[in-house]
Amino acid sequence: MAPQYDAVIVGAGFGGMGAAIELGRLGIDDFVILEREDDLGGTWHVNRYPGLAVDIASVTYSYSFEPNPYWSRLFAPGAELKRYADHVAAKYDLRRHMRFGTVVEGARWDEDQQHWVISIAGTEPVTARYLLTATGFLSQPHIPDLPGIDTFAGKIVHTTAWDDAYDLAGKRAAIIGTGATAVQLIPRIARRVAELTVYQRTPIWVVPKVDVTIPTAVQRMFARMPLTQKAARLTSTSLLELMMVSAVLHYRQVRFLNKGAELLARAHMRAQIPDRELRKRLTPHYSFGCKRPTFSNNYFPTFTRSHVHLETASIERIEPEAIVTADGHRTQIDTLILATGFNLWDVNFPAIEVIGREGRNLGKWWRENRFQAYEGVSVPHFPNFLTLASPYSYSGLSYFTTIESQMRHMGRLFRELQRRGASTFEVTERANAEFLDRMTRRLGDSVFYLGSCEGSRSYYFNQHGEAAILRPTSTVNAFREAGSFPLEDYMIGGQSA
Ligand code: NAP
């Protein structure tokens, strides 16, 4: 029986839209994009907390083939990213493929029919020849299991479910977490509330954010002379590659870059916080890059304001109207903000249950045999499946560089299928094992293993202590390999209809 669709994409964020654009380029139009939320845009649709903005310069944080000359700032606010996603969807006519409010529960490879059966909550399953999951890295919110949290009587909100109608004016608020989200949120919240207590478990490295508005004249220049924006992109991408990729992943070779970034973060703090004791409490005790560093000019100064308090003792329990720390200190609050991030390793890899050939369960297999994916996209025993939010796929720079490498990989693979009139592919065990060996070896050069990362509590590390998210090569290498991987690394077969 022929499947209902040529392809199913799970996720209508930038990753899923990139995959859809690539399918279009390949002449494949018979596909559906299944999305659990009520609109497209992924993280930029879900997140709308105050202060939300990109922290990778916008000229870099966008598709290279779809530059937006009209970013209002060097680091665009979140709402502009959502508008950009809408623009891309309109330009590439993607909305007609999307089904919103559709929660994919799992997918199973049907060996007899040689297609995927994708189960959806509350409705009939769909079938497709190819399955592409673009479920993102940071899409499953982490709600901490703190004693008494269910008894809290005031307002409680996770940053991924911001309540725009809730007025913070005059509130006694607490925020748990000091990751990239909190770094953006804290300065904004502090302006509104009467009291703010920040519960920090692990400090974060913060470097200056060189952010400015982009004058209309420059926007016009970008629009009229796209080469100028290309040059801006190249400059910003190269700088970020040095700081966020080389300094972290090639620590053995360019340790001085890493040390330089750490010195910059320390100097930034010294310039902004006169109080030595406060600086000490905000200073991380792990190497720069063990945890994703962040950029801000107003995070540190916020802690110098009289109504903002930094609490570093661990939280013992939550009471209906207070938080109590291990040293017995009780802080009265009426608003509890959870900037507690995401659960990657337990529930996100993969975000849905995926059962491949001979009943292999992807999540179980990853947990029992190390997290792995050939070139960050395919896994043996999972035919006709590309997993776009995978171990070793993220370059550590802009997520768009990862998306575009994956689109390129898709293009090369599917064009070969078309050339041979074939309908199935599966990566070989050998190619996958060689790739994993290479990634493991190269990670030995990274700050994760050569720096001091104990105590960083970084989500880059999985439950086995492996830093298995970032691809330990340059972004250029990832892009080059996506367009030149040996085609023999795949078993290609079947006959297209
Ligand atoms: P995160 O980096 O995982 O930070 C979560 C914070 O919550 C950490 O400080 C963590 O402390 C704390 N936490 C979690 N459970 C806790 C508990 N039970 N008790 C006390 N503290 C607890 O999450 P995030 O800030 O949402 O950022 C996630 C990622 O999203 C970033 O790394 C970045 O890649 C991305 N992001 C990007 C942007 C942007 O580009 N605009 C903005 C925001 C986020 P520990 O560190 O001790 O675990």
Q: What are phi and psi of 106, to 5 degrees?
A: -175, 175
pLDDT band for position 240 (cuts 50, 70, 90) = confident
In the prediction, which pLDDT does 496 show?
77
In the prediction, which pLDDT does 342 show?
96
Task: Let me know if residue 238 belongs to a domain.
Answer: no
What is the mean pLDDT of the segment spanning 293-303?
96
pLDDT band for position 74 (cuts 50, 70, 90) = very high
Name the token pair of 363: 């999540």
What is the mean pLDDT of the segment spanning 164-180?
97
Q: Which of 277, 308, 338 is the last residue of a domain?
A: 338
**Distance from the alpha carbon of residue 400 to the mean position of ligand 1, in angstroms:** 21
Task: Let me know if residue 191 belongs to a domain.
Answer: yes
> Which one-letter DSSP state was computed for residue 446?
S
Closest atom of ligand 1 to 201 CA is 47
> Which residue, by CA, sits nearest to atom 10 of ligand 1?
177
Task: Let me know if residue 417 belongs to a domain.
Answer: yes
In this structure, are 114 and 94 located in the same domain? yes
CATH for 81: 3.50.50.60
Tell me which residue range forms the domain holding 111: 5-140+344-493
Number of separate domains in the chain:
2
Pocket flag, ligand 1, residue 184 (CB < 6 Å): yes
pLDDT band for position 243 (cuts 50, 70, 90) = confident
In this structure, are 199 and 56 located in the same domain? no
Q: How far apart are CA 214 and CA 69, in angstroms?
A: 10
In this structure, are 163 and 15 located in the same domain? no
In this structure, are 192 and 253 located in the same domain? yes
pLDDT band for position 247 (cuts 50, 70, 90) = confident
Contact 492, 415 (CB under 8 A): no
**Distance from the alpha carbon of residue 483 to the mean position of ligand 1, in angstroms:** 34
pLDDT band for position 477 (cuts 50, 70, 90) = very high
Tens digits of residue pLDDT in 419-453: 999 999 999 999 999 999 999 999 999 999 999 99
Of the listed ranges 164-178, 239-253, 355-369, the one predicted with least confidence: 239-253
Task: Let me know if residue 64 belongs to a domain.
Answer: yes
Q: What are phi and psi of 27, to 5 degrees?
A: 85, 15
Pocket flag, ligand 1, residue 144 (CB < 6 Å): yes
Q: How far apart are CA 175 and CA 340, in angstroms?
A: 9
Tens digits of residue pLDDT in 3-28: 999 999 999 999 999 999 999 999 99
Name the token pair of 56: 């990778």
Q: What is the DSSP string of 190-251?
A: HTT-SEEEEE-SS---EE-----B--HHHHHHHHH-HHHHHHHHHHHHHHHIIIIIIHHHTT
In this structure, are 364 and 408 located in the same domain? yes
Contact 179, 185 (CB under 8 A): no
Tens digits of residue pLDDT in 105-133: 999 999 999 999 999 999 999 999 999 99
What is the mean pLDDT of the segment spanning 209-233?
96
What is the mean pLDDT of the segment spanning 344-355?
94
Q: Which of 316, 338, 360 is the last residue of a domain?
A: 338
Number of H helices, E strands in the chain: 15, 20
Tens digits of residue pLDDT in 192-204: 999 999 999 999 9
In this structure, are 106 and 40 located in the same domain? yes
**Distance from the alpha carbon of residue 458 to the mean position of ligand 1, in angstroms:** 9
For a pocket test of ligand 1, which of 201, 295, 398 has the largest count of ligand atoms closer than 8 A to its C-beta?
201
In this structure, are 383 and 461 located in the same domain? yes
In this structure, are 333 and 357 located in the same domain? no
Tens digits of residue pLDDT in 321-339: 999 999 999 999 999 999 9
In this structure, are 202 and 312 located in the same domain? yes
In this structure, are 16 and 101 located in the same domain? yes
pLDDT band for position 395 (cuts 50, 70, 90) = confident
Residue 497 has pLDDT above 70, yes or no: no
Q: Which of 309, 338, 367 is the last residue of a domain?
A: 338
